[in-house]
Structure 1
Amino acid sequence: MIEHIQIRVFRAPTPRPVATSFGIMRDRPAVFVRLTANDGAFGWGEVFANWPAAGAEHRANLLIQDIAPLVLGQPSDDPAGLWHRLTRQTHIRALQCGEWGPFAQVLAGLDTACHDLAARRAGLPLTQSLNPDAAKSVPVYASGIKITEAEVEVDKARTQGITAFKLKIGFDMETDLAALKTVKADLKDNERLFTDANQAWDAATARHFMEAAQDLGLGWLEEPIAADAPKTDWASLAVLKAPPLAGGENITGTDGFETAIANGHLSYIQPDVAKWGGVTGCFDAAQKITQAGRTYCPHFLGGGVGLLASAHLLAAAGGDGLLELDINANPLRDNLLPEGTLHRGTFHLPDAPGLGVETLPDSLSKFETLTLEAKA
């Protein structure tokens, strides 16, 4: 049974703010959760905490003060069963306060930790516990590249052997298009260019961009409009076919992903393991995405635990998806990855059991802002 929960919050300063069309991140947070069972087995998970600015500490307190009593004493050998049970048990609590996102994110981190624990106990890497025939490495693309800094950041990604780049747009239409044309003209034959508007536009503005970008050969346009925009708005963009549409980080629930697949508007579907579902929900969604002939590309912009979980999920799901790798400096991610993990544009999965994380390195202690615990 689960007898101990520890949650640790970190905030690392950024050399420069990370800008999106809807706001600016002025530091890099990470919320790591560790579950320990009565036999000593343990597992790590990560809870989404990028937004709002004070979200990391809130998620930690939500877990310990509200959700922990539902977790302690529960079996540690059935991650999916625990996640489904907690989803039911917290429904009214989330409804009462309107905080669907925070509850889902905490449950996602708990689920990943429980899967890590179970795989570690079995002596298997997480990906092998999900799919014995899974690949041991996955290709990556560089993300988090602000359009006005694209030339420099794309060159930096190239030095790591990366050949696919996602640029953040949605700031100024004409500036975005001009910069995209410049970057496109400098691409090598084997390189690909993606864009992410972070829900910046209405349907008419997004259509204008898509029509103006027809000749750029973009690999995808991610979240050009709000994730919850009417189905007719998404359909009006999908009919243009180029660039193909991507989204999924702001879709939640099994029904939500099934609807997205059925609607057919998204060519690339991007669940986030730290925002909803954990390994249980996201692996189920990933299988349905690939079976429907779409491409599963896990979204992730956080610390090292969540990135490793995303890599394991992508390898286990198969298909031709890419792993998102934020190009911006982040010690809460980089210091958790084993040496040699990223080589020539390929992310190599650790051979160690579970996710491959034993302990958090001491180098992170200077970034720690809060540690909370609960015991059975």
Structure 2
Amino acid sequence: MRIKSVEAIPLEIPFSPFGKDGGTSKGWAGNKWQKLSVLLIRVETQSGLVGWGEAFSYNCIRPLKAVVEDMIAPTVIDRDASDIGAINLDLQKGMHLWGRYGITVFALSGLDIALWDIAGKAAGKPVFELLGGRSRSLIEGYASLFRYGDADIVGDRAQAALDQGYRVLKLHEVSVPPLKAAREVAGPDIPITVDTNCPWQFEEAAQVIEEMKAYDPYWIEEPLFPPEDFEGLAKLQKLTGVPLAAGENACTAMEFRKMFQAGAVTYAQPSVTKVGGITEFLKTIEQAKQFGVTVMPHSPYFGTGYLATLHLLASVVPDGWAERFFLTVEACLYGDLIEPDANGCFRVPDGPGLGMEPDPDVIRDYRMKNL
């Protein structure tokens, strides 16, 4: 089952974040964020099997595509597609000169997911069966709201999410009033997590988290910069008594091991499109078990990374939630699979491999030109 080709397919799909802000949101480097970037990775074997992966690509899709095409593809052509672990390790070794964080590992993650898709298709089984079997077919999701910076908007969006059936909320806020507004809408029994995206040094983080405690955050996510300040996170968690979460910026299981050894978090958040794919995600889960850390995947995706996360949640993360950006997309690669049911739950696809093929019409219509 030799690899015949590896293709990087960049997509941009417009979205609206359900907000009162005119349908735009702050992105990176001062840009307005109005389109989802999705870098699909299509791997075909000499026997004709096709696997699909996704590499994390928000605002880095151009260099990421180059890594896939110029660094990864030439290395893996004619390799045995079923030798997933060896390919992953060889690429980590071969590309370590360019860093063990960021774009190189994102690209590796996308390839790894595609190889798992191929493995499932070759076996005629869904990926969750390859991982030991499915413990549930519906995954509880949580609405991951944008950062609005306005308590009234946050309260409005929190109510809209609850009206759609969600029973867990995530805010992306860095002050107390939006959390207070969400708690007033949600009541005392709805878990509300707060993702701050690495804004503070230790003293400021401690002060703000102490103020947030009155509104019972389920966890505070990535309160410190830099995100790999695991010693600081451990001290902060002990000082405030509030559970901390981190991991969306951690690449490879080795980085999570450092996090766990420091006692930095209560909740670990590996991202399958960043950590090194399904292979490294599985290693991270085993380490989390050793240290008594709960895994809650980072998964605000609408491509193949979303499918891979559902399979992991159905099998090896039986208590985790699925993160879903609270937005509407103009088109979806997987039809209504990304939509929650009336109870805020998501269906796990049970076809071979990752369970569902991306819509070729969406790929055709939203493929980025001249890239």
* TM-score, normalised by the number of residues in structure 2: 0.90
* C-alpha distance in 2 between matches for 1:370 and 1:356: 28
Given residue 157 of structure 2, which amino acid in structure 1 is its aligned partner? E
Match of 2:222 in 1: 223
* C-alpha distance in 1 between matches for 2:266 and 2:244: 6
* C-alpha distance in 2 between matches for 1:139 and 1:235: 29
Match of 2:20 in 1: none
Instruction: Give the fraction of aligned pairs with identical amino acids, expressed as a percent.
Output: 26
Aligned residue pair count: 359
Match of 2:52 in 1: 44
* CA deviation vs aligned residue, 1:111-159 (integer Å, no higher than 9, x gap): 0000011011111111111122532222111113324231222222223
Match of 2:84 in 1: 79
- Secondary structure of 1:342's aligned partner: coil
Given residue 74 of structure 1, which amino acid in structure 2 is its aligned partner? R
User: Which ranges of 4 or more aligned residues in structure 1 deviate by more than 6 Å?
Assistant: none
Match of 2:346 in 1: 347
Question: Which of 45, 69, 72 is the aligned partner of 1:67?
Answer: 72
Q: Does the 8 A contact of 1:8 with 1:371 survive in 2?
A: no
**Equivalent residues in 2 for 1:274-353, closer than 5 Å:** 274-331=273-330, 334-339=332-337, 342-343=340-341, 344-353=343-352
Q: Does the 8 A contact of 2:15 with 2:330 survive in 1?
A: no
Change (3 A) 1:102 1:299: same
Change (3 A) 1:339 1:229: closer
* C-alpha distance in 1 between matches for 2:215 and 2:156: 19
**Equivalent residues in 2 for 1:256-275, closer than 5 Å:** 256-275=255-274
- Secondary structure of 1:35's aligned partner: strand
* C-alpha distance in 2 between matches for 1:269 and 1:20: 24
Match of 1:173 in 2: none
Q: Which moved more, 1:253-262 or 1:104-113?
A: 253-262
Q: Does the 8 A contact of 2:106 with 2:275 survive in 1?
A: yes
Match of 2:95 in 1: 90
Change (3 A) 1:359 1:236: closer
RMSD of aligned Cα (Å): 2.2
Offset of residue 297 of structure 1: 0.9
Offset of residue 327 of structure 1: 0.8
Change (3 A) 1:116 1:229: closer
**Equivalent residues in 2 for 1:97-108, closer than 5 Å:** 100-108=101-109
Q: Does the 8 A contact of 1:227 with 1:250 survive in 2?
A: no
* C-alpha distance in 1 between matches for 2:294 and 2:370: 38
Q: Does the 8 A contact of 1:105 with 1:275 survive in 2?
A: yes
* C-alpha distance in 2 between matches for 1:299 and 1:156: 22
* TM-score, normalised by the number of residues in structure 1: 0.89
Gaps of 5+ in 2: 17-22
Given residue 88 of structure 1, which amino acid in structure 2 is its aligned partner? K
Question: Which of 147, 153, 157 is the aligned partner of 1:153?
Answer: 157
Offset of residue 371 of structure 1: 8.5
Given the alignment of the two structures, is residue 246 of structure 1 paired with residue 245 of structure 2, yes or no?
yes
- Secondary structure of 1:105's aligned partner: helix
Change (3 A) 1:290 1:329: farther
Q: Does the 8 A contact of 2:195 with 2:221 survive in 1?
A: yes
Change (3 A) 1:297 1:303: same
- Secondary structure of 1:271's aligned partner: coil
Q: Which moved more, 1:149-158 or 1:195-204?
A: 149-158
Change (3 A) 1:81 1:137: farther
Offset of residue 229 of structure 1: 5.0
- Secondary structure of 1:240's aligned partner: helix
Gaps of 5+ in 1: 171-175
Given residue 334 of structure 2, which amino acid in structure 1 is its aligned partner? L
Q: Does the 8 A contact of 2:234 with 2:265 survive in 1?
A: no
